[in-house]
Structure formats: structure tokens, C-alpha cells
Amino acid sequence: MSTQTRSAVKLCCATCGQMNRVPADRLAQGPKCGHCGDPLADGRVFELDRLSHDKAVQGDDLPLLVDYWAPWCGPCRSMAPEFKKAAAELAPAVRLAKLNTEDHPEIASRARIQGIPALILYRNGREVARLAGARPARDILAFVRQSLA
């Protein structure tokens, strides 16, 4: 019997808010939430609410890039497909999520969002970097990679 422990990462399920421990070497295999069965790190952008935002920002072991946006914002809507492309390329090492600032103004205020779209990269419960304005996928990828280097 081996006494070696496997390295695990904590991930918040965007659907149910449950925190999950996932073996780090299994991230690329499409881990699912132990509570609701939804994917945890499959390269899709997930929508955050107040509870899941705070749990994911503070509890996730993987870097988390959050797009603060609103449905009435033209640049936000035009950037959405580019954000999805970046999410697919960065998975499973980085998770990407969106927070509707119109539905959750208290979160936007706490995050000091002054204009949208605004991208904030979090790691280990702290803001690492932020980027304002609509960007193509290649700029989003460069921003994340440079900020985590």
C-alpha cells in the first residue's frame, strides 16, 4: 500500500455551489461535481451569482478569470464568443466565468468595477490582474498567461 498522497485542487461547482476536491492529474479528464454531476473544468464559461462568485474566487485552487458584463452592453456581447474561445484553450488549467453586473451590482461595487466589460483574474483568493474593454481571444490568452507567469 502506497503512502504517497495525490495532489488535489478545490473547485466550486457553478451550478450548485458545492466545493469539490479533484485530483490534479485528473483535471484534463473532465471532472464532475460530486453533488450535482455538472462539469467542473471542461472549458466552458460558467455564469456566477453572488454565492458562487464568492465561493469560487476565494475557494478555487485554479486561477479564475471573471468577465464582469451586462446584457445591454454592446462590447460585452461582442466579446462573449472570444471569451468562450479563450476558455476552451485555457482549460483545464484556468477556469473562465461571467458575472452579470446588472443582476449583481453589489459584487460589481465590491470588485470596484468602473466600466464593462472588465476582466479580473483571481488566484488563491486574490486579484492578480485586471483588464478593461472588449478583447479578442488572443489578447485574453496573452493577458492570462502573462499575468500567471
Does the annotation mark 76 as catalytic? Answer: yes
Does the annotation mark 12 as catalytic? Answer: no
pLDDT tens, per residue, the chain with 149 residues: 344 446 999 999 988 889 999 999 999 898 999 999 999 988 999 999 988 899 999 999 999 999 999 999 999 999 999 999 999 999 999 999 999 999 999 999 999 999 999 999 999 999 999 999 999 999 999 999 999 99
CATH class assigned to 43-148: alpha beta
Q: What does each C-alpha distance from 86 to 13, 37, 45, 67, 114 come to in angstroms?
A: 20, 24, 9, 12, 23
Q: Kindly give, in sequence order, each residue whose CB lies less than 8 Å from that of residue 51, ignoring residues fewer than 6 positions away.
A: 17
Domains in the chain: boundaries: 43-148
- How many whole angstroms separate alpha carbon 29 and alpha carbon 82? 24
Catalytic residue, chosen from 12, 13, 33, 76, is: 76
- How many whole angstroms separate alpha carbon 76 and alpha carbon 92? 24
- How many whole angstroms separate alpha carbon 28 and alpha carbon 13? 16
